[in-house]
């Protein structure tokens, strides 16, 4: 067999207008790559950005100027290794793996919405045996983002009071569990329909963003993690302790905020500059975490049962546009997953 089914885009645009299911050649792994038979791939907001090409700045950040250099979208997945490049030492055919499919920023297409994808060995981790492929595929991008943003600010000892805003989405679901694994007291904020879900992940207190304003209700908070990026900095300050911190993760909300060229990037750069004068903003750091290191931490938590991945819904490969539409409409708890 030399061909496979894949979702392909020839230009940037709305997912329902530019994505097509096609028969294409199965890729050949480079010397340091493995060929993975994709068993499940996840849908997250960055996939929408990569397909639509918004904010336009992403086209200059490695994605491709006129169209995505990699025509097949999808970034994180779980599957089985079926072939390895000549320099691969970490995996063999038959190994079950999970991870992102490249080592670049999340706005670059990764080729995961296909039956097969080539992945550099150094970004992958072994899939824990105690979770399904669908569950494993729901973890990498959201988990890496949650880990990178939280790990420096979580206390080693219990008692830290943390607000997570947007706590029932893909990133928030993992953030709650990371915080609870470190003994924190977690206040989860999300939609009315998701309150029980947040409790089931371990949140000690839950708030409904449609009815309540967390910054008016809570005091003495050590850390606010604003995944939804809907809280104002000045409002957060009345909730935080004098040395409390706010970490902002979310950005553009599918272009609905009108910032289609630069997106939230100027805002984030402004926050980094402002952090020099504001004790509530973390000191800017360009220190990153290797994807493999993050994946191995997540794998250890999955194996230990301290992290449970939640699959909100699954869609077949032919329905990727519907899956992305479902993500944009909200109201799902956890991560939407594609099953080729």
DSSP tag of 79? E
Among 145, 150, 246, 298, binds ligand NAP (CB under 6 A): 145
> Least distance in Å: CB of 332 to ligand NAP?
7
Q: Is 168 in the site for ligand NAP (CB under 6 A)?
A: yes
Best CA proximity match to 178, nearest among 205, 154, 206: 154
Q: What is the DSSP string of 200-214?
A: HTT-SEEEETTT--H
Among 250, 282, 309, 340, binds ligand NAP (CB under 6 A): 250
> Least distance in Å: CB of 25 to ligand NAP?
29
Q: Please, which residue, 34 or 214, has the CB nearer to ligand NAP?
A: 214
> Least distance in Å: CB of 165 to ligand NAP?
5
Best CA proximity match to 43, nearest among 7, 9, 77: 77
Among 41, 123, 171, 310, binds ligand NAP (CB under 6 A): 171
At 16, is the secondary structure helix, strand, or coil?
helix
- Which part of the chain contacts ligand NAP (CB under 6 A), choosing from 84-92, 249-257, 293-301, 316-324? 249-257
Could you give the CA distance from residue 201 to residue 115 in angstroms, rounded to a whole number?
A: 32
Phi-psi region of 240 (alpha: psi -120 to 50; beta: other; left: phi over 0): beta
Q: Is 44 in the site for ligand NAP (CB under 6 A)?
A: yes
Best CA proximity match to 36, nearest among 86, 76, 87: 76
Sign (positive or negative) of CA dihedral 240, 245, 250, 255: positive
> Least distance in Å: CB of 161 to ligand NAP?
18
Name the residue with tokens 């371990």: 202
Q: Is 213 in the site for ligand NAP (CB under 6 A)?
A: no
Q: Please, which residue, 171 or 245, has the CB nearer to ligand NAP?
A: 171
* Residue 112: how many other CB atoms lie within 10 Å: 30
Among 27, 29, 55, 170, binds ligand NAP (CB under 6 A): 170
Among 138, 165, 177, 182, binds ligand NAP (CB under 6 A): 165
Site string for ligand NAP, 90-119 (x = CB under 6 A): ----------------x-------------
Within positions 216 to 245, which residues make up the interface with ligand NAP, using CB under 6 A?
A: 227-230
C-alpha pair distances (Å), 238 with each of 109, 213, 242, 246: 40, 12, 9, 12
């Amino acid at each position: 067999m030399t061909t496979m089914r894949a979702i392909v885009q020839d230009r940037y645009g709305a997912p329902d207008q530019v994505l097509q299911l096609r028969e294409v050649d199965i890729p050949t792994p480079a010397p340091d790559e493995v060929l993975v038979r994709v068993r499940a791939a996840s849908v997250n907001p960055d996939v929408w950005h990569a397909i639509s090409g918004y904010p336009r700045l992403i086209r200059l950040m490695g994605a491709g100027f006129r169209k995505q250099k990699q025509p097949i979208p999808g970034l994180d997945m779980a599957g089985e290794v079926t072939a390895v490049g000549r320099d691969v030492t970490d995996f063999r055919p038959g190994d079950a793996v999970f991870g992102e499919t490249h080592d670049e920023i999340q706005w670059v297409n990764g080729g995961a919405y296909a039956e097969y994808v080539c992945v550099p060995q150094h970004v992958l981790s072994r899939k824990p045996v105690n979770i399904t492929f669908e569950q494993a595929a729901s973890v990498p991008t959201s988990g890496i983002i949650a880990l990178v943003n939280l790990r420096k600010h979580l206390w080693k000892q219990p008692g830290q009071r943390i607000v997570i805003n947007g706590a029932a989405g893909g990133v928030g679901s993992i953030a709650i569990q990371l915080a609870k694994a470190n003994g924190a007291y977690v206040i989860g904020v999300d939609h009315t329909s998701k309150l029980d879900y947040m409790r089931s992940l371990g949140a000690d207190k839950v708030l409904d963003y449609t009815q309540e304003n967390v910054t008016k209700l809570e005091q003495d908070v050590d850390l606010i993690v604003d995944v939804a990026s809907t809280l104002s900095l000045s409002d957060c300050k009345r909730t935080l302790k004098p040395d409390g911190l706010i970490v902002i993760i979310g950005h553009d909300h599918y272009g609905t905020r009108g910032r289609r060229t630069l997106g939230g990037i100027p805002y984030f750069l402004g926050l980094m500059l402002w952090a020099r004068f504001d004790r509530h903003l973390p000191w800017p750091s360009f220190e990153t975490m290797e994807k493999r290191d993050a994946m191995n931490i997540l794998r250890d938590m999955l194996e230990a049962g301290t992290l449970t991945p939640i699959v909100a819904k699954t869609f077949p490969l032919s329905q990727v546009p519907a899956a992305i539409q479902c993500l944009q409409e909200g109201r799902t708890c956890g991560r939407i997953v594609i099953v080729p």
